[in-house]
Amino acid sequence: MRDLLADVGGASFRRLPSLEAAQSDPHGIAVLEGDDGGTVYAVVPAREAGCSLGALQQLLVDLDERVWPHNPPNMRHLYFESRREGEAVPGGMGGGLVAAGVWLHPEVARLGLTDAVLDVIAGKRARVGDP
């Protein structure tokens, strides 16, 4: 889905194989999406990820179970890409954006999860439900 949307929108990007590769790339990002690309939950500049790959994967599960609780797990995805700040990240429900900091879908804020999500990304907590 991401490749198709990028082709339609004329965007160019480079997939990266891992979190480490994204952290080594000056434009590396992590994209957390659900509903098979129907919702981009977060776009994280990889250099800002103070958490482990496992924590990012768990964050994706936690977000997906709250936003799309009846979707099967194989509809959620974590991607690593190289995109410049200001570029759109294609996806449903408005897609996402590569920002100077972490970009979160408005639904994350509506659910009251912004601070918890940012804490997980920063490595301050293991998952959204933790204190």
Measured CA to CA, the distance from residue 29 to residue 19 in angstroms comes to: 8
**What was the pLDDT predicted at 112?**
96
Q: Is 25 exposed, middle or buried (0-12, 13-18, 19+ CB in 10 A)?
A: middle
pLDDT digit string, tens, across residues 24-78: 999 999 999 999 999 999 999 999 999 999 999 999 999 999 999 999 999 999 9
**What was the pLDDT predicted at 3?**
55
pTM reported for the whole predicted model: 0.90
Cβ atoms 25, 46 nearer than 8 A: yes
* pLDDT bracket for residue 8 (50, 70, 90): very low
Check pLDDT > 90 for residue 10.
Answer: no
* pLDDT bracket for residue 2 (50, 70, 90): very low
Which of these, 97, 104, 105, lies nearest to 11 by C-alpha position?
97
* pLDDT bracket for residue 131 (50, 70, 90): low
